[in-house]
Amino acid sequence: MDPFPRLVSETVTAMITAAWPTTPEESQEWLRHHGIDPDTATERAPRGLSGNWDRARTLGWGSADSGWGTFRGEFVGANWFLWRGSSSDEVMAAAHALADLLTQAHGAPTEATESTEHGGTWLWQLPDHVIDMYAYHGLTRPDGFPAGDACVQLHVDLRERAEAQEEHARAHPAERPAPLTPPDQ
């Protein structure tokens, strides 16, 4: 599987142990340092004080789609859609391997659930960062509704900025950033 779960875990750990960027210029360099090519991204229409870019390539990560977001002009975090095009079993195995590696590196998740309807979710609320992972198994849901492609959605955010963005979004629902969806869905 490309990328290997170990590479993803190592990249996440490198990101959260590095100095976190603030300005757009710092963000571009930081993304490049961690393998994300910001020149391949598509900017989505900004919502209120939030900006989002997606569909960037991560070097050596196969078909993974990468993105990032800002709030009040400051870098909040990076995200990926991983292992699209793989079977449900392969995606779920990679998700569990990644969850295990992240747990070894950062401790037990604050929350973890698995569901036959969607797949699984894991959340690590670290002192300075948040790691969110959603595994979509891609199987038809129990209600018969198609679930979309199997993939893993992963977010790594600076906790202080992500919480400020979420607080602002709750107070201004019309400005809430549109939820990310896997490309081609």
**What tens digit of pLDDT does each residue of 92-114 get?**
999 999 999 999 999 999 999 98
Residue with tokens 């939820």: 179
Q: Enumerate the domain spans of the chain.
A: 5-175
pTM over 0.75: yes
Report the first-to-last Cα separation within the chain, whole angstroms: 22
pLDDT of residue 176: 61
- Angstrom distance (rounded) from CA 78 to CA 5: 17
Quick: pLDDT tens for 113-148. Answer: 988 777 899 999 999 999 999 999 887 777 777 667
pLDDT of residue 24: 86
In this structure, the dihedral spanned by the alpha carbons of residues 49, 78, 161 and 168, taken in order and rounded to 10 degrees, is 40
- Angstrom distance (rounded) from CA 120 to CA 160: 25
pLDDT of residue 146: 64
- Angstrom distance (rounded) from CA 183 to CA 112: 25
Asked whether the predicted pLDDT for residue 66 surpasses 70, the reply is yes
